[in-house]
Amino acid sequence: MLSLVQSQKQSLKISPAQIQLLNFLQLTSLELEQYIKNELEDNPVLEEGTDDTADEFDEFGTKTADSQDRTQDYMDWDEFSNDDTPDYRTRINNYTDDDTPYTATLVETKSWRDDLKEQFHLLDLDERQEYLADFLVDSLTDEGYLKVSAQSLADDASFTSGLYVEKEEMQTLLEILRDMEPAGLGARNLQECLLAQLERKPNVEIAKKMVKNHFEELANHHYDKLMRTYSLGPEALKEVLATIAHLNPHPIVGGQPSGALVVKESIVPDYIVTVEGETIEVALNARGIPPLRINKAYAQNLGGSRAANTYVNNKINTANWLIDAIQQREATMLKTMRVIVALQREYFLTGDERLLKPMILKDIAEQIGMDISTVSRVTSSKYAQTPFGVIHLKDLFTEGFTTDSGEEVSNRQIQVALAELVEKEDKHHPLNDTQLMELLAEQGYQVARRTVAKYREVQGIPSVQMRRVL
């Protein structure tokens, strides 16, 4: 039997606009700049500029008298188009090279994959082989490695092209590839990459044998075993290791052949923190983010049909939401960053990581009166430019730790102390995790050995065996 029951309950629902705004907070400066560019191209009602310039249009979308008067003097463009050029210079070609504005030459660049394909096409190959060579080049990783076998390549090429490709065909092309520059192309792993480079060097027989037959011992720094196996002294082993160390671990580095100059993309900070004496100022990096406004003339002149009015109204609502969302984003980001600076004031004044205080997302959320997820979005993938360099905001959030003296410090302070111990250690007899734990305890940091191992990995410090040198 059916029955109707009426009840009352509370529920929290987030509107699509709120979800969109939360995602908007997570955008970095570069992502926001690209987002605005896309909106300017897609929305004809939206344009760059401040609201002050919009006063040049009246309520009917036409220019005011003042703006018309300013252009009245230039109605005859034929008369004034060459007003800045002397008459005698328009009669003959009397311009010098200094008068010609400099224009940078456009240089066509090719990727390393295109270069390899071109090398294949210069060989005496038929059309089928050229197609398979292109397929082979496209199958390489971004570092120039080939992670699949010749049989797998043949199967993939057969499936893609609809042709039956033999394993021998791909193996032949693979051997040609491995003879090209740079050395190591098409290698399956690091060991093959190093061997391919050593094959082209003279007088490196011991290094080749070491990489080929004792690669694991070499990687794990088992120097005593290597010296016994090859009857080498410490100085002779150093020379062999130096030869191997000068090899390239990847045939392709940063999208360029190994040995080429690698240009890394610089980080664009979202915040700019300036310090003058005891005063700390926080600002947003608004470079590249233009002010936005509604194009009133376009919005008011484009009307008529019901469909046109609906289209314009939708675009106006979208533009208004974007302008308001940018303002809310800026206000939230500034409010969050100012609280972070206030909590970590000593750190921002000095740049010393040991002065970082324990801080979690909840601490910021409580002070600005917002949800923890909002703070996470505002700080995620965000960077700040400071007098001591560009920092990642997530690095400022650390857990607390109580020392023997009862003082609460950041775990980053322990990590810095750990890095200092490793830096000062004897590299011939490096400290293991147990010894590092004991030394940290002497400084008042009572941490477990597994915690030392964890902090060592966070700092990117290798294990004791990998830190040992001859």
Instruction: Report domain extents, the chain.
Output: 115-187, 191-250, 271-396, 400-467
Indicate if 400-467 has the same CATH topology as 115-187.
yes
Average pLDDT over residues 247-254: 80
Average pLDDT over residues 18-22: 71
Mean pLDDT of the chain: 79
| Residue 202 preceded by cis peptide, ω within 30 | no
Average pLDDT over residues 349-359: 86
As beta bridge partners, residue 294 has 46
Does residue 127 carry a pLDDT above 80? yes
pTM over 0.85: no
- Please tell me whether residue 409 adopts helix, strand or coil conformation: strand
3-state helix, strand, coil in the chain (%, to 5): 55, 10, 40
Q: pLDDT confidence of 422, banded at 50, 70, 90?
A: confident
CATH of 400-467, one of 1.10.287.130, 3.40.50.300, 1.10.10.60, 3.30.300.160: 1.10.10.60
Residue 132 token pair: 């398979």
The CATH number of the structural domain formed by 115-187 is: 1.10.10.1330
pLDDT tens string 134-170: 898 888 888 888 888 889 888 888 888 788 888 898 8
pLDDT score, position 70: 40
Question: Could you tell me if 306 and 62 are in contact, meaning their C-beta atoms sit under 8 angstroms apart?
Answer: no
306-343 vs 372-379: helix axis angle to the nearest 10? 90
**Please, which residues have CB within 8 angstroms of residue 407's CB and are 6 or more apart in sequence?**
none
pLDDT tens string 160-209: 878 888 889 889 988 998 888 888 888 889 899 999 899 888 888 898 99
